């Protein structure tokens, strides 16, 4: 998606440790009009899929997922990072290693909001190693839900997550794929 690439070039900052900072329009201040255009792109790309639920993970996926859910006319559910695992069996749980914080989080989704009747589009802001996606896929698997696809705003193509998930047969639709980025010059190269 050209407009997203241009915005990343204009406003993105390449940090050391392979982190791309896009606080100006995605991760802190949110350009909701841009989110709407992203949502329209995913809606067109997944027009053939019977999606009835959007799933993401807190915190930074929520803004995008909410706009995507409005575009599809379906609910959005976000997986919660939880300190205490609920032991009463009312939640699906998994563990996710955070790329940006290096910590492992317990993540939960209530059984009330995801089940075998669901056809899910998973949405997130970034994909790097694919840990967040693997956790969300595990939750969908536990729930017996069908994963119709994965929509990522920015995939870092030089990290292994996207390749791994595509090889597993998942339909991964990344709107911008960064091939390389240089923290010294701030040069960002995209894959097409
Ligand atoms: P993964 O689990 O694929 O390794 O990393 C994806 C998650 O880490 C995303 O949910 C995102 O919040 C965060 N993340 C990974 N790489 C970046 C990055 O370069 N910039 C920002 N802002 N977040 C990132």
pLDDT of residue 143: 98
Beta strand pairing status for 19-21 and 13-15?
antiparallel
**Of all protein residues, whose CA lies closest to atom 4 belonging to ligand 1?**
129
Q: How far is the CA of 85 from the centre of ligand 1 (A)?
A: 23
Q: Give the predicted TM-score (pTM) of the model.
A: 0.97
Other CB atoms within 10 A of residue 177 CB: 19
130 lines ligand 1 (CB under 6 A): yes
Rounded distance between C-alpha atoms, residue 142 and residue 127, angstroms: 22
Query: Which stretches of the chain drop beneath a pLDDT of 70?
Result: 83-88
176 lines ligand 1 (CB under 6 A): no
Convert 139-171 to b/e letters by CB count within 10 Å (16 or more is b).
bbeebebbbbbbbbbbbbbebebbebbeeeebe
For every residue of 70-106, DSSP letters joined together read HHHTS-EEEEEEESS--TTS-EEEEEEE-TTT--EEE
pLDDT of residue 102: 87
**Of all protein residues, whose CA lies closest to atom 6 belonging to ligand 1?**
127
**Could you identify the atom of ligand 1 that is nearest to the CA of residue 129?**
4
> Could you tell me if 167 and 147 are in contact, meaning their C-beta atoms sit under 8 angstroms apart?
no
pLDDT of residue 100: 87
Q: How many CA atoms lie within 13 A of 81 on its CB side?
A: 13
DSSP H helices in 46-188:
61-72, 131-143, 161-167
74 lines ligand 1 (CB under 6 A): no
- Token representation of residue 62: 């929520």
Q: Mutation test of ligand 1: which of 30, 101, 132 has the most ligand atoms closer than 8 Å to its C-beta?
A: 132
> Could you tell me if 79 and 58 are in contact, meaning their C-beta atoms sit under 8 angstroms apart?
yes
């Amino acid at each position: 998606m050209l407009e997203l690439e241009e915005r990343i070039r204009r406003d993105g900052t390449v940090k050391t440790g392979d982190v791309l900072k896009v606080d100006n329009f995605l991760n802190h201040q949110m350009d909701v009009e841009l989110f709407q255009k992203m949502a329209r792109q995913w809606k067109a790309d997944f027009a053939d899929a019977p999606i009835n639920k959007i799933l993401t993970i807190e915190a930074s996926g929520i803004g995008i997922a909410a706009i995507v859910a409005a575009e599809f006319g379906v609910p959005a559910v976000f997986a919660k990072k939880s300190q205490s695992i609920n032991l009463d069996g009312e939640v699906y749980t998994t563990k996710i290693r955070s790329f940006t914080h290096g910590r492992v989080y317990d993540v939960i989704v209530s059984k009330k909001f995801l089940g075998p009747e669901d056809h899910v589009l998973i949405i997130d802001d970034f994909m790097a190693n694919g840990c967040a996606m693997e956790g969300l896929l595990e939750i969908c698997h536990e729930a017996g839900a069908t994963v119709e696809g994965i929509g990522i705003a920015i995939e870092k193509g030089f990290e292994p997550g996207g390749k791994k998930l595509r090889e597993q047969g998942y339909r991964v639709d990344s709107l911008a794929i960064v091939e390389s980025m240089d923290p010294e010059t701030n040069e960002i190269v995209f894959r097409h």
